[in-house]
Amino acid sequence: RVSCRAVQGLGRDMAGVVLVSFEDITDKEQAGQMRRDFVANVSHELRTPLTALMGFIETLRGPARNDPEAGARFLDIMQNEAERMNRLVGDLMSLNRVEGDERVRPTQSVVLNDILNSTLHTLQHLAREADVTFETEFPERPVAMIADGDQLKQVFTNIIMNAIKYGGSGGRVTVRMAESAREPVLRAPGVRVQIIDYGAGIDPIHLPRLTERFYRADDHRSRALGGTGLGLAIVKHIINRHRGRLRVESELGTGTTFTVILPIHDGL
């Protein structure tokens, strides 16, 4: 869409002259609409736990005042809701940070094997609770690259946590890494990290929108598991910053494979 403004020349020299300016407003309108949608989503996501908290506070002050058993139960629920809000605010801050960072190239020398091992170590307790075992297939040789180590850890944490949360019924999660002197997608030296689960899978109609903020393939399940709907949006921005790619393949009833493809820059 184009906005057009015409101004009739007023001065003596400008008599009879009409200035016409054209401006493409499609992008501006879209950006404005996206911002409004985002604020509406955030408000809705924050209001849900807040409403629950306010309801339980009222009940604790009134009907449940003299019922310690119900009181303890309600406090548990209130803690869950407060933790949900805390996770949401944490993810919003991460998203804000990574969006701001996107134009700044990472400069750290990192070893990808170390980042993945440390991520798996951190998530080990979560996997054990869900009865999931990790299988790893890493190359012998350490894969060194220029990256932002903390951000890459966040990428793998978010994807592996999802594999445990949504694919955990498969009993195992495979993390595979392969380096290539000519990564076919990047047409340059690169590394592929695949996170494979053998769980319920995702209906293919959801796949193109999975990295949108607050998009959930299974809304009920995501909320029941305490998801914020922002994990993969954060992943997408970090991978963009690293000039990498994210691929998702999934089949209902068989499982899901997330593939992170990262370039390996010279300079080490």
Interface positions with ligand ADP (CB under 6 A): 158, 162-163, 166-167, 197, 199, 202, 210, 216-218, 222, 227-233, 256
For residues 175 and 264, which CB has a smaller minimum distance to ligand ADP in the complex? 175
For residues 176 and 265, which CB has a smaller minimum distance to ligand ADP in the complex? 176
- Smallest gap from residue 131 Cβ to ligand ADP (A): 16
For residues 190 and 199, which CB has a smaller minimum distance to ligand ADP in the complex? 199
According to the 3-state scheme, what is the secondary structure of the chain? CEEEEEEECCCCCCCCCEEEEEEECHHHHHHHHHHHHHHHHHHHHHHHHHHHHHHHHHHHHCCCCCCHHHHHHHHHHHHHHHHHHHHHHHHHHHHHHHHHHCCCCCCEEEEHHHHHHHHHHHHHHHHHHCCCEEEEECCCCCCEEEECHHHHHHHHHHHHHHHHHHHHHHCEEEEEEEEEEEECCCCEEEEEEEEEECCCCCCHHHHHHCCCCCCCCCHHHHHHCCCCCCHHHHHHHHHHHCCCEEEEEEECCCEEEEEEEEECCCCC
State the Cα angle at 160 between 78 and 48, rounded to 5°: 25
- Smallest gap from residue 180 Cβ to ligand ADP (A): 24
For residues 139 and 208, which CB has a smaller minimum distance to ligand ADP in the complex? 208
For residues 199 and 244, which CB has a smaller minimum distance to ligand ADP in the complex? 199
- Smallest gap from residue 37 Cβ to ligand ADP (A): 16
- Smallest gap from residue 122 Cβ to ligand ADP (A): 17
- Smallest gap from residue 200 Cβ to ligand ADP (A): 6
For residues 257 and 261, which CB has a smaller minimum distance to ligand ADP in the complex? 257
- Smallest gap from residue 197 Cβ to ligand ADP (A): 5
